[in-house]
Amino acid sequence: MAEVRNKQVVLRDYVVGFPKESDMNTVEGRITLKVPEGSNDVLLKNLYLSCDPYMRVLMSKMGHEGFGCYIPGSPIAGLGVSKVLESGHPDYKKGDLVWGMTKWEEFSLVPATQIDFKIEHTDVPLSYYTGILGMPGLTAYVGFFEVGSPKKGENVFISAASGAVGQLVGQFAKLTGCYVVGSAGSKEKVDLLKNKLGFDGAFNYKEESELDATLKRYFPEGIDIYFENVGGKTLDAVLLNMKLHGRIPVCGMISQYNLSQHEGVTNLAHLIFKRIKMEGFVVNDFYHSYSKFLEFVLPHIREGKVVYVEDIAEGLENGPAALVGLYTGRNVGKQVVVVARD
Amino acid sequence: MAEVRNKQVVLRDYVVGFPKESDMNTVEGRITLKVPEGSNDVLLKNLYLSCDPYMRVLMSKMGHEGFGCYIPGSPIAGLGVSKVLESGHPDYKKGDLVWGMTKWEEFSLVPATQIDFKIEHTDVPLSYYTGILGMPGLTAYVGFFEVGSPKKGENVFISAASGAVGQLVGQFAKLTGCYVVGSAGSKEKVDLLKNKLGFDGAFNYKEESELDATLKRYFPEGIDIYFENVGGKTLDAVLLNMKLHGRIPVCGMISQYNLSQHEGVTNLAHLIFKRIKMEGFVVNDFYHSYSKFLEFVLPHIREGKVVYVEDIAEGLENGPAALVGLYTGRNVGKQVVVVARD
């Protein structure tokens, strides 16, 4: 069997501070398009790759306990939608579409355990399985409904609100009958939140010098649920504005991942004064809820009651720029990299 | 009806920073020992007054939403054990012993709603109703069992461990079959934890320059439950040492109440990495559990399986020193002020 070209995005060295495009190289590897004799692995053609904030953590030398880290000189890895070219595992066969952990390259040979789910519904865009129908979608669903325990009429604040997860939390909160305000980092994103995603209010945090006062303006009676995506100063201001028995599902702290010393949060005593529950969660603990989630969200997508904004980068060679753009907020909506469309 | 002398502890002015004895005055007021005609109030003779960390919050000008604040020139208030001298309310009669909110003075006329409970069991020291059988006891019980959800064999860390609440959390954790380590601020307290209160380990945090390393030594496999009484640097070091799915009941942050700017906590991203639940609570929300708590704790006290260390100050005039001593850790065990013994 002849080898073919396999373009790859490789980490050059461990990253300190903000990641740069030049922290990654696009190189030409070679791969034999064949599952080795006797192997249970699955050979994938990668179609859509997902850019997710947690990937920054894996670029650091230490990575994080339970998260691992990338290896300089090897391709980086992440979630993606792929087509099965050949399978050594009985659960998968040629032509299956799947999503799960794959590598940033054209073709990957992966253990079957890295595949999260076989894709059953293809009447929706395939790229959605990196977003609304994949990890970010399930994250929004379990974080808001299971960790946040929302009730109709409650006040919900979402940071990074136009991102892959935030835009869905906001729409789920509106479907629940909540009052929803989001923060984002540009006028374009704020317009999107208000005009396309149905938020009751939205503001550009970069233009607000006193975040505490801004929150008091949008939430004169306080916040019941803060869906935390950013950490740092935003969290500190939110703590001053939480209502009694408020909840803070902690999904991410993207503002902090590139700092060698994280910002100090000083208002934690409000957890006591207001009896607040602040709970970190990782979506991997909730993959058993995926089919329930699909049942919930697919009809809403088909009926146009939930929409999803994607930011599509064309070609693996544009992947590094797309990925590092997450940390400066360059993307508008879910950042996806297209390697191939089928 | 003749007036009698009524010694009182009065706040001089709102407090900034650490409270001092001189922030309070002991003055001689006058009171008529009679419930006014037609009033539902209850006239109390105060016996034991409770010194509790939250009282610092009430000394600040702003106090805190839902907590109120003291009024300069008026007696301060707090929990105490009192004897009913006369009652305008049908639930109470002369001679009843009660605990609840009272003022720092010899005699108080209070609305019946300020009385929390009538004291039914007097085979134990009456002062216990300011501690193990009062608010701190119920705090330890609901904070550990309801907010902390402990399981046998789990690793428990407690700060301010020899205090009114901490010493009970440690003993409840040992009764549950947990491994228990506490921190405190003197050799005497550490000895007490290890030799009298049955902790598996204890250390003086003032002698540990690297709290992270200290915690790793006591908890090589990490902490399942951190019972939070102090906040600040201790919390930051604990976050680095929590186990997966750990829980942090947030009872208090005594190290922070006297600071005009609270210390920044920088390791909150570990809430995500370790899927930690951090939950503030206030015991007032759990007063419905008080009789269940008494059923649990009274037999343990009578059998000597749970002990309680008190630090008794004699006389209302020694109250201010006892109260401010809490914030420098001068007290060993629960700080009580005796106004009268019966």
Residue A342: which residues within 8 A CB-CB, separation 6 or more? A47, A83
Q: Does A34 touch chain B (CB under 8 A)?
A: no
State the average pLDDT for chain A.
Answer: 95
- The Cα-based distances of A26 to A6, A104, A326, A327, B199 in angstroms read 10, 10, 19, 20, 57
Q: Does A69 touch chain B (CB under 8 A)?
A: no
E-state strands within A172-298: 179-184, 201-204, 223-227, 242-250, 277-280
Q: What is the mean pLDDT of residues A261-277?
A: 94
Phi, psi of A300 (to 5 degrees): -65, -40
Looking at the complex, report in whole angstroms how far the Cα of residue B189 sits from the nearest Cα belonging to chain A. Answer: 25
- If we measure between CA atoms, which residue out of B82, B86, B111, B76 comes closest to residue B98? B82
Mutation target for B interface from A58, A165, A259, A271: give the one with most B CBs within 10 A: A271
Give the closest of B252, B262, B271 to A278, CB-based: B271
User: Is B280 within 8 Å of A261 when comparing Cβ atoms?
Assistant: no
For residues A242 and A240, what is the distance between their CA atoms, to the nearest angstrom? 6
For residues A276 and A218, what is the distance between their CA atoms, to the nearest angstrom? 20
Long-range contacts of B172-176, Cβ-Cβ distance < 8 Å, separation of 24 or more: B172/B140, B172/B141, B172/B144, B172/B145, B172/B306, B173/B144, B173/B225, B174/B198, B174/B199, B174/B200, B175/B300, B175/B305, B175/B306, B176/B150, B176/B151, B176/B152
CA A34 from centre of chain:
32
Q: Is the pLDDT of residue A66 over 60?
A: no
ipTM, 2 decimals?
Answer: 0.90
What interhelical angle do A232-239 and A211-218 show, nearest 10? 50
- End-to-end Cα, chain A, rounded Å: 22
Cβ-based contacts of A64 with chain B (< 8 Å): 273
Domains and CATH numbers, chain A: 3-131+309-338 (3.90.180.10), 135-284 (3.40.50.720)
Amino acid B69: pLDDT: 87
Amino acid A221: pLDDT: 98
Give residues 267 to 286 of B whose Cβ lies within 8 Å of A.
Answer: 267-282, 285
pLDDT band at B61 (very low <50, low <70, confident <90, very high): confident
Phi, psi of A91 (to 5 degrees): -75, -15
Q: Is the pLDDT of residue B327 over 90?
A: yes
For residues A323 and B79, what is the distance between their CA atoms, to the nearest angstrom? 57
Residue A15, SS3 per DSSP = coil
User: Is B268 within 8 Å of A257 when comparing Cβ atoms?
Assistant: no
Q: What is the pLDDT of residues B234-246, one digit of tens each?
A: 999 999 999 999 9
Name the one residue in this structure whose structure tokens are 């401010």.
Answer: B324
Q: Does A252 touch chain B (CB under 8 A)?
A: yes
Cβ-based contacts of A222 with chain B (< 8 Å): none
- End-to-end Cα, chain B, rounded Å: 22
Amino acid B63: pLDDT: 65
Q: What is the mean pLDDT of residues A154-179?
A: 98
Residue B44: which residues within 8 A CB-CB, separation 6 or more? B82, B83, B84, B85, B98, B102, B107, B108, B109, B110
Residues in chain B: 342
Chain A residue with minimum CA distance to B250: A272
Q: Is the pLDDT of residue B337 over 60?
A: yes
Please, are residues B46 and B131 in contact by the beta-carbon 8 Å criterion?
Answer: no
Q: What is the mean pLDDT of residues B321-342?
A: 96
Q: Is the pLDDT of residue A67 over 70?
A: no
Mutation target for B interface from A256, A268, A271, A275: give the one with most B CBs within 10 A: A268
Amino acid A117: pLDDT: 97
User: Is A276 within 8 Å of B279 when comparing Cβ atoms?
Assistant: yes
Q: Does A259 touch chain B (CB under 8 A)?
A: no
Q: Which two tokens stand for residue A204?
A: 């550009």
User: Is B280 within 8 Å of A275 when comparing Cβ atoms?
Assistant: yes
Amino acid B29: pLDDT: 95
Please, are residues A10 and A76 in contact by the beta-carbon 8 Å criterion?
Answer: yes
